[in-house]
């Protein structure tokens, strides 16, 4: 590879650095949101209704807010049990909750919010990333296809010549 080709390749890679870094950051953000949404969607799909059997302890919320979570045991309609913390109490013994084997929520509402709001954000991030990539691609193609700027017009006059000193005029003859 010639030195000019290496220099051109290096310049192209440097020019791509910022867009690639931004694209990589967007991909990491999309992955994190997808993981968050996936975990909560899995709970929403696999969870079922259960009845609170015992309440062991409740952690206090911040300020005057209600408790943030309560340790508990619950029973499913088939007779199996689960235990762990119930998120978003208040709950009491005998209340119906939405739960899995080791997690529970006082209702499905927090899970729906945890799935649909970030899910919408994820869709917007994906669409925005696609739009940025397409826009960048269109701009680079236009830049490559654009004709070079016109050269400045060349003067058709002859270049100025140096003036030769003329001998003085002899004056009127007469």
Please report the pLDDT score of residue 82 as a whole number: 94
Dump pLDDT digits (tens) for 80-104: 999 998 888 788 889 999 999 999 9
CA atoms within 13 A on the CB side of 162: 2
Please report the pLDDT score of residue 58 as a whole number: 72
pTM metric for this prediction: 0.57
Please report the pLDDT score of residue 62 as a whole number: 58
- Residues in the chain with pLDDT < 50? none
Please report the pLDDT score of residue 59 as a whole number: 67
CB atoms within 10 A of CB 133: 13
24 three-state secondary structure: helix
How many angstroms separate the CA atoms of 22 and 18, rounded? 6
Residue pair 31/15 in contact by the 8 Å Cβ criterion = no
Please report the pLDDT score of residue 61 as a whole number: 59
Please report the pLDDT score of residue 69 as a whole number: 74
Please report the pLDDT score of residue 171 as a whole number: 65
Give the percent of the chain with pLDDT over 70: 75
């Amino acid at each position: 590879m010639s030195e000019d080709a290496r220099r051109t390749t290096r310049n192209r890679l440097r020019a791509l650095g910022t867009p690639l870094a931004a694209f990589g950051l967007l991909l990491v953000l999309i992955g994190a949101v997808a993981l968050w949404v996936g975990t909560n969607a899995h709970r929403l799909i696999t969870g079922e209704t259960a009845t609170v059997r015992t309440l062991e302890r409740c952690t206090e919320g911040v300020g005057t807010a209600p408790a943030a979570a309560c340790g508990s045991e619950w029973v499913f309609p088939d007779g199996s049990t689960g235990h762990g913390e119930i998120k978003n109490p208040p709950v009491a013994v005998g209340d119906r909750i939405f739960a899995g084997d080791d997690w529970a929520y006082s209702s499905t509402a927090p899970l729906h919010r945890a799935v649909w709001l970030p899910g919408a954000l994820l869709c917007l991030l994906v669409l925005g990333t696609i739009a940025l990539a397409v826009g960048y691609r269109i701009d680079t193609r236009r830049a490559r296809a654009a004709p070079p700027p016109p050269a400045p017009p060349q003067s058709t006059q002859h270049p100025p010549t140096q003036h030769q000193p003329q001998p003085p005029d002899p004056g009127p003859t007469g």
